[in-house]
Amino acid sequence: MSFVTTELEGVFIYSPTVFKDERGYFFESYNQKVFEHGGFNFNFVQDNQSRSKHGVLRGLHYQLNPNAQTKMVRVLNGSILDVVVDIRPNSKTYKKWISIELSSNNFKQILIPKGFAHGFIVVSDEADVIYKCEGFYDKSSEAGIRFDDPELNIDWGMDKKDIIVSDKDAKLPFFKAAANNF
Residues 79-99 pLDDT 10s: 999 999 999 999 999 999 999
Q: Is residue 102 a contact partner of residue 79, using CB atoms and an 8 Å limit?
A: yes
Q: Flag whether 55 is in a domain.
A: yes
CATH number of the domain bearing residue 88 = 2.60.120.10
Across the chain, what does the average pLDDT equal? 96
Q: Flag whether 78 is in a domain.
A: yes
pLDDT in tens, 122-153: 999 999 999 999 999 999 999 999 999 999 99
Decide if 37 is catalytic: no
pLDDT at 2 over 90: no
Q: Is residue 117 a contact partner of residue 59, using CB atoms and an 8 Å limit?
A: yes
The catalytic residue among 14, 62, 118, 131 is 131
pTM exceeds 0.85, yes or no: yes
Domain count, the chain: 1
Q: How far, in Å, CA of 72 to CA of 130, rounded?
A: 8
The catalytic residue among 30, 61, 62, 118 is 61
**How many CB atoms neighbour CB 3 within 10 A?**
16
pLDDT in tens, 50-69: 999 999 999 999 999 999 99
State the pLDDT confidence band at 1, using cuts at 50, 70 and 90: low
Q: Flag whether 61 is in a domain.
A: yes
Q: Flag whether 161 is in a domain.
A: yes
Per DSSP bridges, beta strands 126-134 and 46-53 are antiparallel
* Residue 133 φ then ψ, to 5°: -125, 135
Decide if 131 is catalytic: yes
Q: Exposed, middle or buried, 57 (CB in 10 Å: 0-12/13-18/19+)?
A: buried
Which residue range forms the structural domain that includes residue 23? 2-177
For 57-90, the three-class secondary structure string (H helix, E strand, C coil) is EEEEEEECCCCCCEEEEEEEECEEEEEEEECCCC
Q: Flag whether 182 is in a domain.
A: no
Q: Flag whether 93 is in a domain.
A: yes
pLDDT at 22 over 90: yes
